[in-house]
């Protein structure tokens, strides 16, 4: 979830003193193909969590509508899959009949929205320096590079560090193989996710991004 909410900065002038409606968790609560229909709130991703600090700085309240009543997911799922809702079922991998019915009954044509899921954020969690540079402004990247060059010297070469590099390299190769299979259209042949979280933590330049962000953000507070 490193950097996926950076695009919100583009709306900075419109955000103060506002409520921002977002659809986080809709793929769990509203999707008729949801694989886990439970009463507990158990998230499978940290999406929108990186927005926490920025919303405090910009001064707005995020309203994740799918969380309203989500502890009643079994009941919501029964409604979504009921015969009454069939006119709003698309039979694809982006099927949310409840919000679709609400929008369509307000006069919005079906072909004008939400036929497939499109993400506008980007994740810098595993990015090398050249990709980080593409996603940052010249000023921000220059600042990051100054911080990176200064602090990477302090990260001593240890056995733990060498092992982490090896672990991440295995995960990266695994991920590249799956990406190639996906691009070739062999979705069913994708390799299973077998690596624990520790293998997914890059020891390279991107691992300094959060530290750089904290370094600059803390200047805005009296700590």
One-character DSSP codes across 164-179: HHHHHHHHHHHHHHHH
Angle (CA) 200 202 205, round 5°: 160
Residue 17 shares a structural domain with residue 84: yes
Q: Which residue has the tokens 């220059």?
A: 142
Total tally of structural domains belonging to the chain: 2
- Determine the longest span between alpha carbons in the chain, in angstroms: 63
**Domain limit, last residue, from 112, 147, 163:** 112
Does 121 fall in a domain?
no
Q: What is the band of 138 on the pLDDT scale with cuts at 50, 70, 90? A: very high
d(C-alpha 79, C-alpha 96), whole Å: 11
Which range marks the domain in which residue 191 is found? Answer: 129-220
Q: Which residues pair with 60 in a beta bridge?
A: 18
**pLDDT for the residue 30:** 92
Q: Which of 25-29, 60-64, 116-120, 199-203 has the highest mean pLDDT?
A: 60-64
13 plus 72 within the same structural domain:
yes
- Please, what is the average pLDDT of the chain? 87
Distance CA 37, CA 35 (A): 7
Region 209-222: mean pLDDT is 85
Beta bridge partners of 63: 21
Last residue of a domain, one of 51, 86, 112: 112
Token pair 């979504």 is found at 80
Do 32 and 74 touch, CB atoms closer than 8 A?
no
Q: What is the pLDDT of residues 62-78, one digit of tens each?
A: 999 999 999 999 999 99
pLDDT digits over 49-108, tens only? 778 888 888 899 999 999 999 999 999 999 999 999 999 999 888 899 999 999 999 999
Based on the fold, state whether residues 42 and 68 are members of the same structural domain: yes
Same domain, 63 and 142: no
Pick the last residue of a domain from 112, 137, 152: 112
Mark whether 107 and 137 lie in a shared domain: no
pLDDT cut 90: percent of the chain above it: 39
The Cα 148–Cα 216 span in angstroms is 13
- For residue 117, tell me if it sits in a domain: no
Cα distances (angstroms) measured from residue 73 to each of 26, 34, 97, 156, 201: 11, 10, 14, 48, 33
Residue 11 falls within a domain, yes or no? yes
């Amino acid at each position: 979830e490193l950097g996926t909410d950076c695009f919100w900065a583009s709306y900075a002038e419109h955000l103060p003193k506002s409520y921002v409606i977002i659809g986080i968790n809709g793929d769990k609560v509203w999707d008729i193909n949801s694989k886990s229909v439970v009463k507990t709130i158990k998230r499978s991703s940290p999406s929108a969590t990186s927005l926490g600090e920025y919303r405090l700085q910009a001064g707005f309240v995020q309203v994740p509508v799918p969380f309203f009543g989500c502890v009643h997911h079994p009941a919501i799922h029964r409604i979504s899959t009921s015969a009454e809702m069939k006119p709003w079922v698309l039979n694809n991998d982006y099927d949310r009949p409840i919000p679709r019915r609400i929008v369509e009954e307000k006069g919005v044509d079906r072909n004008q929205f939400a036929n497939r899921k499109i993400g506008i954020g980007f994740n810098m969690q595993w990015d090398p320096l050249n990709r980080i540079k593409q996603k940052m402004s010249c000023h921000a990247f220059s600042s990051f590079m100054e911080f990176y060059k200064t602090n990477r010297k302090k990260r001593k070469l240890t056995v733990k560090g060498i092992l982490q590099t090896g672990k991440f390299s295995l995960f990266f190769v695994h991920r590249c193989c799956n990406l190639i299979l996906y691009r070739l259209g062999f979705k069913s042949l994708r390799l299973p996710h077998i690596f624990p979280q520790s293998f997914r933590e890059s020891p390279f330049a991107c691992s300094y991004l959060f530290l750089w962000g904290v370094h600059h953000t803390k200047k805005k507070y009296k700590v």
